[in-house]
Amino acid sequence: MRSLRRRPLIAAVLCCALAALAAGPSPDGGDGGDDDGGGVGAEVARLYQDAAVATQRYEQGRREADAQRVRAVRAEGLLDGQRRRLGALHEDLGRIARAQYRTGGGLPMAARLLMADSPDQLMRGQHVLATAQSAVGRAIDRSRRAEARLVADEARTASAWQALEKRTAELAVLKKSIEAKLEDARSRLQGQADASVAAGSCRGAVRLEQPPLDGTLAWVAPVESYQLSAGFGSDGSHWAHRHTGQDFAVPIGTPVRAAGAGRVVRVSCGGAFGIEIVLQHPGGYYTQYAHLAAVAVDPGQQVLAGQWIGQSGTSGNSTGPHLHFEVRITPDMGSALDPVPWLAERGEPVG
């Protein structure tokens, strides 16, 4: 059964400027002097960063546009309500005028005096009507001013919404462009990895500027964001025997991390595992990272838990981009343990 696990990238990683330094000598004696794989690997890493930033900005812009759209709809609703209130006030003023007419308000003052029971009654009626007319008139004036303010607010809100929609669309185009460049760089990186495997000679190590490491963690998953695919002990036509590790489905060029502190005991190219790295850890354990597209370490190098040691790929006997990860009790095949419970026992559950 395939299981899904996604972890957000460490925020600091988005701010790292990933660059390639000088390529080291080929770990297995191959000539890496004219190698440009380090440049492509660093380009992939840099584009990963750019794509992550572009995606973050796009998602933020989309959220802001959605929020502004809600404000625009609310402003429109407020304006409609204010217009309804203004219409009701106009109706009130009309009713007052009609009532005044029906009660003789349209007659000359002399006639109303003759028809009234008393001058006091006439004056009281006139005062009530005048007060009502004045109150409704003031309410209409206030409502008109409020309507004018709401019209201006609605225009500003709609304009801001349209501007955010335009910016979000531009960010979507930028995001798509970066992703296209990343896909092209991945293809070139994998092409160089395939050439290395075919020649049986590793290219020089890609030197990546490392992200900040959490020194409190002794063990980490070999990649940060992944989907588990083939598990330990799986049976199938892809393997001569049962599967000896855990596969993490990730795109080509994904940074691969040292699961724990240790020493690089093998960097090799060729064979079923393609480009692979084997680390030795305290306590007599070894970890293997296979089907890589590039390596970022040399044999004998000391590494820390979480340090980027390479980039994932689909080299060797691989049906698609993924990292093949093993835990062993020797550096060689045939001594593998199930890595999932092994990591879980060390405080790093995967799945």
**Spatial contact of 205 and 224, defined as CB atoms under 8 Å apart:** no
CB atoms closer than 10 angstroms to residue 182: 20
Residue 137, pLDDT > 90, answer no
| % of the chain surpassing 70 pLDDT | 75
Q: How confident is the model at residue 25 (pLDDT cuts 50, 70, 90)?
A: very low
Q: Is 4 or 228 the better-scoring residue by pLDDT?
A: 228
**pLDDT tens track for 208-264:** 878 888 888 899 999 988 888 777 767 655 545 677 889 999 999 999 999 999 999
pLDDT single digits (tens) 259-287: 999 999 999 998 889 999 999 999 999 99
Nearest-angstrom CA–CA distance, 23 and 33: 8
For residue 189, the tally of other CB atoms under 10 A from its CB is 25
The predicted structure's pLDDT at residue 86: 75
Report the pLDDT value the prediction gives residue 236, as an integer from 0 to 100: 56
Task: Provide the mean pLDDT of the chain.
Answer: 79
Q: Is the pLDDT of residue 127 over 90?
A: no
Per-residue pLDDT at 125:
58
Give residue 267's pLDDT.
96
Q: What is the pLDDT of residues 146-202, one digit of tens each?
A: 778 878 887 888 888 888 899 999 999 999 999 999 999 999 999 999 999 999 888
Structure tokens at 52: 């992550």
Of 248, 235, 252, the C-alpha closest to 40 is 252
- Given a cut of 80, whether residue 33 has pLDDT beyond it is no
Band (38; pLDDT cuts 50, 70, 90)? low
**Angle at the Cα of 90 from the Cα atoms of 87 and 92, rounded to 5 degrees:** 115
Query: What does pTM read for this prediction?
Result: 0.65
Bigger pLDDT: 101 or 79?
A: 79
Confidence at residue 105, expressed as pLDDT on a 0 to 100 scale: 53
Q: Please give the Cα distance from 50 to 43 (Å, whole number).
A: 10
Helix, strand, coil percentages in the chain from 3-state DSSP, rounded to 5: 45, 15, 35
**Structure confidence by residue, pLDDT tens digits, 87-99:** 777 776 677 666 6
Report how far apart, in Å, the C-alpha atoms of 341 and of each of 40, 178, 251, 333 are. Answer: 35, 38, 24, 19
Q: Which long-range contacts (CB under 8 A, 24 or more apart) does 295-299 make?
A: 295/27, 295/202, 295/205, 295/206, 295/267, 296/41, 296/205, 296/206, 296/207, 296/208, 297/205, 297/264, 297/267, 298/24, 298/25, 298/27, 298/205, 298/264, 298/267, 299/27, 299/264, 299/265, 299/266, 299/267
